Amino acid sequence: MIEKFLEGKGCLITGGASGFGRGVAYAFAERGADLVLVDINEELLNETSKNVEKETKQKVISIVCDVSEAKQVKKMTEQAFSELENIYVLFNNAGTEAAYGVDILKVGEKAWDLTMNVNLKGQWLIDKFVCRKMNRQKFEPLRGKIIHTTSIAGSVVDPLIPVYSISKIGVIALTQLVAKSLAPYITSNAIAPGFHVTGIYGNREDIMIQTMKDGNVKTPLNRIGNIQDVVNLMIFLASPRSNFITGHTFPIDGGTAEVGVPPNTLKSDI
């Protein structure tokens, strides 16, 4: 039987239309949570929200938002708390990659700005506006939980995705800073997925395998990750079992130990 430890608690998931966000939405709703799903892709967001609500019988609110825009994030936050009254778990998950295979010294400014604005600034803005309200909640022993999505590229820097790596290093630092700022009332942790089959790679395992070959990636457990691998950890971090854990980043990477770049894989300026 599924433990309903999120019953009576709201959860907000950015990047909720697909990938990890979609998988976690189902898992949280199955455990009793009402949801706010946030994404920039309105069509896919509405489809996911309707399906989750239909299958789990929980309330699901969908809000279209560009997380890199402060005004939109502030408006989204007001609507989220108005619709659900409380947000106990924030899954700060929205992200993008705009400069694959480009040398860090040749990355275009637009690609830099897009990746950094969504991956780092966006997570900071979501934390900034959501946590102000979360910190006023009356839950015990914690008022809420924040879970960021970073990447193993934030600890094992990959020259094939240079700006992405820098942004994800920033998310690890953000996770630690928020943990210290909001202790002892709110926890802040991060998940660091490795190579997983998600929408970023067209949900195609062949593309993921080729990407790993391009980057000379070796995974000791000898398989590609899947969304359920991430969901399993997210369930733990959202549960009372993780209440004494904050400021940490948890890899979900199959033990990936080496990332290198073979010759002639980096492109010129974009």
pLDDT of res. 229 = 95
Query: For 10-252, which CATH class?
Result: alpha beta
Q: Which residue among 26, 88, 164, 201 is the active-site one?
A: 164
CA 136 – CA 134 distance, rounded (Å): 5
pLDDT tens string, the chain, 270 residues long: the values are 899 999 999 999 999 999 999 999 999 999 999 999 999 999 999 999 999 999 999 999 999 999 999 999 999 999 999 999 899 999 999 999 888 788 999 999 999 999 999 999 999 999 999 999 999 999 999 999 999 999 988 988 878 889 999 999 999 999 999 999 999 999 999 999 988 766 655 566 776 777 677 767 778 888 888 899 999 999 999 999 999 999 999 999 888 755 444 444 555 444
pLDDT of res. 262 = 44
- Judge whether 25 and 51 are in contact, CB under 8 Å: no
For 80-136, how does the pLDDT look when each residue is reduced to its tens digit (9 = 90+)?
999 998 999 999 999 998 887 889 999 999 999 999 999 999 999 999 999 999 999
pLDDT of res. 203 = 63
All structural domains of the chain with their residue ranges? 10-252
> Residue 15: left (phi > 0), alpha (psi -120 to 50), or beta?
left
Q: Which two tokens stand for residue 116?
A: 């950094």
- Judge whether 68 and 104 are in contact, CB under 8 Å: no
Respond yes or no: is residue 164 known to be catalytic. yes
Backbone angles phi, psi at 32, to 5 degrees: 100, 0
pLDDT of res. 35 = 98
CA 91 – CA 71 distance, rounded (Å): 20
